[in-house]
Structures are given as structure tokens and as C-alpha cells.
Chains A and B, each alone.
Chain A
Amino acid sequence: MEKQYKKELLKEMWQKMNLAREFENRVQWLFSMGLVHGTTHLGVGEEATAVGSILALKARDYVFGTHRGHSQAIAKGIDIDHMMAEILAKATGVCKGKGGSMHIADPDIHYFGADGVLGTSAVMCCGTALAIRKKKEEDRISVVFFGDGSSNEGAVFEAFNLASVWNLPVLFVCVNNTYGMSTPIAKVMKDTDIAKRAIPFGMPGESIDGNDVLAVYDTIQKAREYVLKEGPMLVVENTYRISGHSKSDGNLYRTKEEINAWKEKCPIKQFRSYLTSHEIFGEEELDEMVRQAKETLDHAVEFAKSSPEPDVNDIYEDVYA
């Protein structure tokens, strides 16, 4: 028999995936209006990896996100108004306008954020897991997201080893969107089955369809149980980045056909057809929730735009504790 899910859970998945998509659309738009300073890495097409994974965790679990982490922050439950304010570098931003898109974080909800230096989050994640163990906290794990490209960083291999030799409650989640910037994985790894990298470290590794939010949810739920009982594990979530790498991507390294083929496999589209064909929600109900997501974002953009800039006199604040 097919697995049954609580309606509330499915609703939350739908809402958060749409919030994440709509968030990216708005950032893209703000960017094109010249309102965003610096750069951003958007993750249109990757929503199921973040939402499916994080909804399978407990609120108290630590999560380290990626530079392409807006959807991870949203899934973790960050305040959308304050996150948008961060994108616009406002004083009301989650990082007081000091971090920006690449550093969205909220330690209050145990989200240790996007990081700009690839690979490092994996080792820091071992540290939070070590703290969980030393503090004898029960039912808590540490999760790190990292990309296929980042998986080649030395720090990631060191993290695999540390987590396994110390048997830490770490869940490694590799978001494999098949490219690191313009570089296809086959150019930078001889065996592209990243899940196999768990084997020499004595960890289980699993490779799944990262565009199927329920498959992601099921896998991570089981993985969490495993990590709590047995130790670290690696899950590779296979997906695709519809967005360009960052603001300056001419898409010279891939074809329109390839992008369009993946648009067909859109995780939100797929989930919609699951929800309607199983008669969990009707089309109108789903549309209504999408409309609500848009409203939430309307509000967030307004909030962000009308928020004050940080005070230049506070520049030294937060350098030291």
C-alpha cells in the first residue's frame, strides 16, 4: 500500500516550496531593478531538496546551509520579512544587513546559515554534533548541506572522516545539481556517484531523486533515525539548478534543451500532480496557497523596502562579543 502522509505535513511542504520559489522570483526581480547590492545565488528548481529534508528534521536539529540557501532558510522557518530585509541590506535584516544573501543565518532557530567559503560548513557541522554528544543532548542531530562541486573540497573529506571515526550524529546532505558554477561533475570527479564516497568512511550513502519532495522526506526521516542510533550518513539529492549560477551567468556551458527538460521535472509541478491525483487538495486550494505565498512575499518586499538602513555608527558592533 502507498504511504499515507498527514495532510498538515503535505500542506506545509506545498506552502514552503512555493514560498521558496516565490522568494527567488522576487529576489531576481529586485536584482533586475538594481535594488540588490552584491550577488545572490538562486535555487529555482531545487526547492524539494531543502523542504523535503528539513521538514523531516526536528526544529532543534542544527542545520548548516549553502550559498544557494534561501530555500533551506525558509524550510527551517526563518522569518521571511527579515530575510528579505537582509537581501536589501537593511537594519531589520536577519543579520542586521551585515551578511547579505550569501550569509543568511538565524542561530535562534538553529540555522547556522549559508557560508561563502565552500566546504567549511561540513567540518563545523562535526563540531556542533560533537557538542550535542558532549552535552548529552538526546534526539538532536547536526545536518550540513553542500553542493556536488563543494564535495571535492578537502574539508568535506576531513568531515566525513571526523564524523565517522568519532561516530557523531551528523547527516551529510549533498545537493547534486550536476554543476559547480559552469563545471559539470563529470569533469571534476571520475566516478560521479557521490554516494559511494561514504563507503570508505564506513558510512551508508544513499542517492535519491531530489525533485521528489516525498522521496526526499522519507529518506531523510529514515536517515535521521539512523544517525541518532548508529552515526553519520550521507544522502545525495539529485536535482537541477534552473537559475543561473549567480548574477553573472551567461549559461554558455549548458543548452536551452537541457534547462527545459529539467523545467518539465519541476519539483513543484510534480508535487502538484501528486496532491491532486491523490485528491488531497484540489487545484483551487493549491492555487489559493500559491496566492498566499505571493502575498507573504508582497509583504516581505514592502517590509524590506520600507525598513531603515543600518546606522554607520554601529559599524564596530558585533565584531567581538
Chain B
Amino acid sequence: MSEITYAQAVNDAISEEMRKDETVFMLGEDIGLYCGAFGVSKGMIQEFGEERIMDTPIAEQGYVGAAVGAAMAGLRPVVELMFSDFMCVCFDELVNEAAKLRFMFGGKVKIPLVMRTASGAGTGAAAQHSQSLEACLAHFPGLKVAVPSTPYDAKGLLKTAIRDDNPVMFLEQKTLYRTKGQVPEEDYAIPFGVADVKREGGDCTIVTYGRMVQMSLEAAKRLAQEGIQAEVIDIRTLVPLDIDTIIGSVKKTKHVCIVHEAVCFGGFGGEICGQIADSEAFYYLDAPIRRLGAKSTPIPFNPKLEAETFPTVEKIYQAVRGLL
């Protein structure tokens, strides 16, 4: 084990796969000397050269589309999209193409593409550089969606993403890039569709992912001081979704609160809520299902307004208290 940052974990996952597999390469804006807007690709251009760490023009449709094509022809591109908000510029390539080509072509093509991007708010980057857009990606059959919350998960999930024969949308959390955690030195991969129970408890289930995992754990700590034991589940991948772990936990705790940073309205919490309500766990519930997400507003620049937009430790704590 060694202690590394989330950004380094991402870097290590790609570098290790690139050393093993000639077909893996990375492309994106300013990922060479500049090391990407978040410094993720530090040292990579020196090790792998310009042919495999490709700086692209500022043309998201162009290089994301090219990555889809390269994947169709047997390469394994890892695209870095500087901010997840820019997926809107290349939505067609991701959604109408990458997600559907295999199906439309009768299963005769594979799209082993990873689209890595920095997602989320909390950095004062305002409305066009702070969104959490995972719900719209999860909506499209054919795409897989991962949102790692720790360095360990970032590395293990990214390895799975690179080895996967499907397009994977990998939403890194920009406020977590500098956070540190223990990561094994030997090779490992974390399978998709396996939730991580971060904390066990019998009173209420908190289902969450991404930046909200740590906050949920802090809220759980506070609740524990009052004798309330929350079970915190990090789903890690939205598609595929480990609904069984969630249902099992809800049957045990009879209470559930779903927390994400993305806008609550139309957010992925609605899907989780729906799947719980559709399952036998419904009969076990002692209270309505609670959802916490961002307010229905573009993300404001002002830090106080920005903070007001999202769930906080306090809000999670209050929500769970309110359920019991």
C-alpha cells in the first residue's frame, strides 16, 4: 500500500495499462506539458511521448468523435475532456454514436472508449464549469457510468474501464483530485456494478456516490453520536447499478436517504428511488424515501450561493434525523 492522491491514482491506472497494452493511448486538450487542467497527466508525456499522449486542438466534437472511430478500429482511447460540462459539445459522438454503434451494427463492432472528465462544483467555476451531468449519461443504454469517490476506487475502476469493451463515462470529482488514500502497489481492478458499503448500520441507509460519500460518512459520524447508526453505500457505478446491495440494506434499515451533488430534479436519485419502490424493499419502508440533491438552479459563482445549492453534512444529518 502507498498513500497517493486521487489524481495520481488516475494517472497510475492509465500509465500501467499503457505499459501493458500498446493500443491504449490518451488524447485531450493540454494533457502534455501542461499535464491537463487538473495536473492528472503529470510525467506522462515524458514517459510515453506525443504519439500516445496526444494534445488535441480545442475541438471536442473532433477528438471525441475521432476517439470513437479509433475504438471502432481496435484501439483503446482514453479521452480527457477538461470539464464534464463540455460533454454537451460532443454529446452526439457520445450518445448517438458511441452508445449505439455496437447495437445498430448487430454486435459486430466494439467501442472500448473511456471518456474521463472532471465533474462537479465547489471550485467557484460557476455555471458552465461545475455541473454534475451523470444522470443524462446514465439515461442512454450502451454507456457505462462510473463516479469514483476515493483514490483506491479511482484506480481500480479506471482499470476496469480501460479493459472494458464498451464506452465508459468516467466522471472524476474535481474537488477530490488532491485528496489522498491508500492504494495497493500490485495490480487490481474493481468490477463495475459492485457497491461499496462504506459503513454498516441498522437504522437508515444512505445511498450516495462521488463527492457526497465523504460528506455522508461525516453525517453518519454525527448521527452515531446520537445513537443513530446509518449504513452508507457508495454505488461507485451508476451503470451498471448494484441495486441488490441497496435493496438488501433498505430491508434491514427500513429507511433510506439518497444523496447526490447533481440537481435533485430529474437526478439519478430518482432512478434509485424508483427501483426501491419497484422492489420488495417497498414493503419494509417505515418512512418515505428521501432524496437530497442540488437545487434547481444553474450553479452560481458566489461561494455562499454555491454552497447553498448543494447537500452539506448538516443537510444530510438533518434529512436522516427527519426520517427517523
A residues neighboring B (CB under 8 Å): 37-39, 89-90, 95, 97-100, 102-103, 115-119, 149-150, 152-155, 180-183, 187-189, 248, 252-253, 309-310, 312, 315-316, 319
Contacts and interface: CB of A to CB of B under 8 A. Distances in A.
Interface of B: 29-30, 32-34, 37, 55-62, 85-86, 88-89, 123-129, 295-298, 300-305, 308-309
Contacts of B60: 153
Query: Taking each of B295, B296, B297, B302, which has the highest tally of chain A beta carbons within 10 Å of its own beta carbon?
Result: B302
Main secondary structure of the interface of B (DSSP, over half): loop
Contact of A38 (B29, B56, B58, B123): B123
A312 B301 contact: no
Contacts of A152: 57-59, 62
A136 to B, nearest CB: 34
Given A154-B59, A182-B30, A252-B34, A117 B301 contact: no
A38 B34 contact: no
Query: Taking each of B59, B298, B301, which has the highest tally of chain A beta carbons within 10 Å of its own beta carbon?
Result: B301
A313 to B, nearest CB: 9
Contact of B300 (A98, A118, A181, A182): A98
A116 B128 CA distance: 6
Main secondary structure of the interface of A (DSSP, over half): loop
B29 A183 contact: yes
A103 B85 CA distance: 15
B302 A89 contact: yes
A182 B34 contact: yes
A252 B43 CA distance: 13
Contact of A100 (B32, B59, B62, B301): B301
A118 B89 CA distance: 10
Contacts of B128: 102-103, 115-117
B301 A99 contact: yes
A181 to B, nearest CB: 4
Contact of A309 (B32, B296, B304): B304
A98 B58 contact: no
Contact of A116 (B59, B126, B308): B126
Given A188-B57, A312-B308, A98 B301 contact: yes
Nearest to A319: B297
Given A97-B300, A102-B128, A319-B298, A153 B305 contact: no
B62 A38 contact: no
B58 A180 contact: yes
Contact of B302 (A98, A154, A189, A252): A98
A97 B305 contact: yes
B303 A118 contact: no
A270 B292 CA distance: 57
Contacts of B123: 38-39
Contacts of B59: 152-154
B30 A181 contact: yes
Contact of A89 (B56, B57, B303): B303
